[in-house]
């Protein structure tokens, strides 16, 4: 095999269509665009236009609302915290905060805080300081004799308290 004998595999390289190159090419004159009108011109993009009919995005009712920048929490369950305590990677006697959970490998990164979920069981008496904890997680931790301090307070909840 020589350098001048190299070639692409069959079907790997496709010839581009050369439009508007005479009637014999099959793509001459109108170049496959039909006749006249806005769509036969270049640079036309009519998104959502339905030929004068009311477009579907205007016919359907508006529903719901989505935050453009919602809070993203890293999640960890109380069952996972108990596993780490049993393995000796977390000390139940000390305050368990977000830095301790990252160091123990419970979560990879904090994001905008850590949220504790109520999945699993917790037997150890722990003192947690996290961004948020679900109601079931708080109940389980307090039942085991521990406490939960939450650092993140929603604006709406803060207004109701005041």
pLDDT in tens, 27-52: 999 999 999 988 888 888 788 888 88
By the 8 A CB rule, do 114 and 146 touch?
A: no
Quick: pLDDT tens for 83-130: 999 999 999 999 999 999 999 999 999 989 999 999 999 999 999 999
Determine the angle formed by the axes of helices 135-143 and 78-86, rounding to 10 degrees.
40
147-150, strands of its sheet edge to edge = 95-97, 127-130, 147-150
How is the chain split into domains, by residue range?
Answer: 74-154
In the chain, pLDDT over 70 holds for what percent of residues?
96
| Predicted local distance difference test score (pLDDT) of residue 158 | 63
CATH class of 74-154: alpha beta
| Predicted local distance difference test score (pLDDT) of residue 159 | 65
The pLDDT confidence band at residue 161, using thresholds 50, 70 and 90, is low
pTM for the whole thing? 0.58
């Amino acid at each position: 095999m020589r350098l001048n004998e190299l070639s692409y595999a069959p079907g790997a390289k496709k010839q581009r269509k050369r439009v508007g190159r005479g009637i014999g090419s099959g793509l001459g004159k109108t170049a496959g665009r039909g006749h006249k009108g806005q769509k036969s011109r270049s640079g036309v993009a009519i998104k959502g236009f339905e030929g004068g009919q009311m477009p579907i995005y205007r016919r359907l009712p508006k529903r719901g609302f989505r935050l453009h920048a919602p809070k993203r929490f890293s999640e960890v369950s109380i069952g996972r915290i108990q596993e780490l305590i049993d393995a000796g990677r977390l000390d139940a006697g000390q305050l368990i905060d977000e830095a301790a959970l990252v160091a123990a490998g419970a979560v990879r990164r904090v994001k905008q805080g850590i949220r504790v979920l109520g999945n699993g069981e917790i037997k150890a008496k722990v003192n947690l300081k996290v961004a948020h904890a679900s109601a079931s997680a708080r109940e389980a931790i307090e039942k085991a004799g521990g406490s939960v301090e939450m650092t993140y307070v929603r604006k709406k909840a803060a207004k109701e308290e005041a």
